[in-house]
Amino acid sequence: MSGVPERAEIDEQYTWDLEAIYETEEEWEEDFEFVQDHLPDLADYEGRLTSDGETLLSALELRDSVMRTLDTVSAYARMRSDEDTRDQHYQALSARAQTLASEASSAASFFGPEIQAEDEETIEAMIESTPGLETYEHYLEDVLRRKSHTRSAEVEQVLSEMGEVLGAPSDIYSMLTNADLTFPTVEKPDGTEVELSQSNVTVLLKESDRTFRRTVHETFFEELSTVRNTIGSALKYQVKTDVNLARTRNYDTAREAALDGPNIPVEVYDALVETVEDNIGKLHRHADLKRRGLGVDDLQMWDLYAPVAPGESPEFEYEEAREHVVEAVAPLGEEYQHRVSEGLDSRWADVYENRGKRSGAYSGGTYDTQPYILLNYQDDISSMFTLAHELGHSLHSELASEHQPYVDADYEIFVAEVASTVNEALLTAHLLDTIEDPHVREHVLNEYLERFRSTLFRQTMFADFEHRLHALAEDGEALTPDRIDEVYGDRKATYYEPAVVDDHIRREWMRVPHFFYGYYVFQYSTGMSAAIAIADRILSEGESAAADYLDALKLGGSEYPLSVLETAGIDMTSPDPIQTALDVYDERLDEMDDLLAADETTED
């Protein structure tokens, strides 16, 4: 019998306050109708968008009004559905919002092509002569920058309308692995049975019983392999979609197309992979520490998620975790710290798991709402770090919304993971500075090291694998499941040389949904590198470094990602931030090594 409560049983103070967005569903319907009613008005600008500065300004302001309202309509419906995914009413509400978003995207699809039909001098003259149009200067610059990669208005509309179809490989993968594929049950060491799933397999691979971990590993991948050809086909067509869309937009490669959106040079991608692989010995050292901590002769793939720290993980109830997180962000100043505390008091967070609630965690909300955080808090160290992580996202969004107009508030994924990971780094430093218990310190370090391993190293390995697949497709090579296994197995063997690479793990690519997101994963690694370098600078230099960082958060999307990070004192065109992060990781490995050595001495 599950011990997970129904939502009605959760104390209100631990639920998010969605009534702050809409007190009644009738208010939601009014905003939904507002968007619907104004889409024809938006479409009326087609063919005359840039006839003069005043027309361009009025069209952009109308589009902002429509899209701001749509953002709130969509966010509310999605969050209501996430509270209890069994609720058909809110599923329908969310589906309506998604359809409306598609209609709005199609209605506004002519903006880019019509702006790009003008030369830079004409647009600059409009900005200079039209009060208010300067608000859109960065947006207009960015649209013009991609002029050579934008097709005619007719083609752009077709591409927009084809969005759902072009996303089919990802949807097929998601439905297959989350809805249709059923995994077997396995018997836990205590005699109870648990059904394997995409969501729980990693958690189960952290269990202390090694035989059980092996059973989980082999059972999961044997079942996943029964749909290997289907997943392989879906991934093949996703890669082909990326390649063909890039060619449609006059890019040489799919990678160039993906990185051009946030204006990231491909050299940044290459520098990440090269710097990480130059430091691969640090990951090998971590693997050896894990082998020692587990007391095994050979590290197997089913051992990789098991903690280095011995014994059960200490508990941190939510209120205690909240206190630690608030204290940890003190180096960012009293105002930032106050915002965190006040936000949690104002029911930003939906804290505990309930039956039917969406799994995982995220930071949500819109330009016109307070931040919202979905958690499934479990009274453990990992949940405490997740709280710090999502609060980083929330404060970033809030600061950007306060200091930028709507058009410039949203920031690129390339910088999105920075604020969240800065908070994690500050939390690690705070816990290690204030907690003396060696057992707790071991588990704090383990959490930090595992997050680093699974983000900077693992996601870089994913990024290299993803790029190799696209390069093969661009060269005309067939991406069969066997060929994909070969490429992935080679990368896994390089990164985890001290461990035994078995046939199951060569097929691990089948359980990674991010490979359907088109050059997405490298940004986790660059984000973590930048964040650790920033946190290191804040902890060593103090207020001036913190001020630079907060100024960067306030920029939102008003500047390109590399410029935003330069404001925080970080140059991502150089390998230095990546190397700094790797050096901090090495120092944390030293600390763990010392603690393990002390344990071994005590045992002797």
pLDDT for residue 559: 97
Kindly tell me if the per-residue pLDDT of 604 is higher than 60. no
| Residue located via tokens 């992935």 | 488
Strand runs (DSSP E) across 219-301, as ranges?
Answer: 299-300
Question: What does the pLDDT look like over 238-253, one tens digit per residue?
Answer: 999 999 999 999 999 9
Residue count (the chain): 604
| Phi and psi angles of residue 374, each rounded to the nearest 5 degrees, phi first | -95, 125
pLDDT for residue 385: 95
51 within 8 A of 114, measured Cβ to Cβ: no
Kindly tell me if the per-residue pLDDT of 498 is higher than 90. no
- For 337-366, what is the mean pLDDT? 93
78 within 8 A of 96, measured Cβ to Cβ: no
* SS3 call for 558: coil
In angstroms, rounded to a whole number, what is the distance separating the alpha carbons of residues 142 and 263?
A: 9
pLDDT for residue 450: 94
In angstroms, rounded to a whole number, what is the distance separating the alpha carbons of residues 416 and 524?
A: 9
Query: Parallel, antiparallel, or unpaired: how do β-strands 362-364 and 372-377 relate?
Result: antiparallel
Listed in sequence order, the residues at least 6 apart from 458 whose beta carbon sits closer than 8 Å to its beta carbon are 495
Question: What does the pLDDT look like over 157-168, one tens digit per residue?
Answer: 888 778 778 888
Query: Parallel, antiparallel, or unpaired: how do β-strands 349-352 and 372-377 relate?
Result: parallel
Query: Position 249: which residue type?
Result: R
Question: What does the pLDDT look like over 502-548, one tens digit per residue?
Answer: 999 999 999 998 999 989 999 999 999 999 999 999 999 999 999 99
pLDDT for residue 2: 45
In angstroms, rounded to a whole number, what is the distance separating the alpha carbons of residues 472 and 236?
A: 11
In angstroms, rounded to a whole number, what is the distance separating the alpha carbons of residues 138 and 406?
A: 12
Question: What does the pLDDT look like over 539-598, one tens digit per residue?
Answer: 999 999 999 999 999 999 999 999 999 999 999 999 999 999 999 999 999 999 999 888
> What tokens does 572 get?
């991502």
Fold (topology level) of 167-186+225-314+412-604: Neurolysin; domain 3 (1.10.1370)
In angstroms, rounded to a whole number, what is the distance separating the alpha carbons of residues 494 and 479?
A: 21
Would you give the distance in Å from CA 139 to the centre of its chain? 24
| Residue located via tokens 């599923």 | 91
| Phi and psi angles of residue 424, each rounded to the nearest 5 degrees, phi first | -60, -45
> What tokens does 70 get?
């749509």
Greatest CA separation for the chain: 83
pLDDT for residue 4: 81
Kindly tell me if the per-residue pLDDT of 500 is higher than 60. yes
Question: What does the pLDDT look like over 367-425, one tens digit per residue?
Answer: 999 999 999 998 999 999 999 999 999 999 999 999 999 999 999 999 999 999 999 99
| Phi and psi angles of residue 187, each rounded to the nearest 5 degrees, phi first | -90, 125
> What tokens does 233 get?
């086909």
In angstroms, rounded to a whole number, what is the distance separating the alpha carbons of residues 334 and 543?
A: 11
Answer whether CATH 3.40.50.1950 is correct for domain 9-162: no
pTM: 0.89
In angstroms, rounded to a whole number, what is the distance separating the alpha carbons of residues 204 and 593?
A: 25
Residue numbers annotated as active site: 390
In angstroms, rounded to a whole number, what is the distance separating the alpha carbons of residues 7 and 531?
A: 35
Share of the chain above pLDDT 90, in %: 83
Residue 503 CA neighbour count, 13 Å, CB half: 7
Lowest mean pLDDT among 151-155, 437-441, 487-491, 546-550: 151-155
Torsion of CA 315, 386, 372, 366, to 10 degrees: 180
67 within 8 A of 104, measured Cβ to Cβ: yes
In angstroms, rounded to a whole number, what is the distance separating the alpha carbons of residues 160 and 162?
A: 5
Question: What does the pLDDT look like over 47-64, one tens digit per residue?
Answer: 999 999 999 999 999 999
pLDDT for residue 181: 85
pLDDT for residue 1: 32
Rg of the chain over Cα atoms, rounded to whole angstroms, equals 25
Question: What does the pLDDT look like over 76-120, one tens digit per residue?
Answer: 999 999 999 889 999 999 999 999 998 999 999 999 999 999 999
Question: What does the pLDDT look like over 110-163, one tens digit per residue?
Answer: 999 999 999 999 999 999 999 999 999 999 999 999 999 988 878 878 887 787
Q: How many CB atoms lie within 10 A of CB 548?
A: 18
Listed in sequence order, the residues at least 6 apart from 294 whose beta carbon sits closer than 8 Å to its beta carbon are 210, 303, 306, 308
Question: What does the pLDDT look like over 200-223, one tens digit per residue?
Answer: 888 899 999 999 999 999 999 999
pLDDT for residue 560: 96
Q: How many CB atoms lie within 10 A of CB 539?
A: 15
453 within 8 A of 283, measured Cβ to Cβ: yes
In angstroms, rounded to a whole number, what is the distance separating the alpha carbons of residues 381 and 126?
A: 54
- For 6-32, what is the mean pLDDT? 97
Q: Which helix (H) or strand (E) holds 462?
A: helix 458-474
pLDDT for residue 3: 66
Where are the domains positioned within the chain?
9-162, 167-186+225-314+412-604
Question: What does the pLDDT look like over 254-290, one tens digit per residue?
Answer: 999 999 999 999 999 999 999 999 999 999 999 999 9
Return the ∠ at Cα 122 (arms to 121 and 128), rounded to 5°: 85
Q: How many CB atoms lie within 10 A of CB 315?
A: 13
pLDDT for residue 100: 95
In angstroms, rounded to a whole number, what is the distance separating the alpha carbons of residues 210 and 204?
A: 11
Q: Which helix (H) or strand (E) holds 185?
A: strand 185-187
Q: How many CB atoms lie within 10 A of CB 84?
A: 18
pLDDT for residue 596: 86
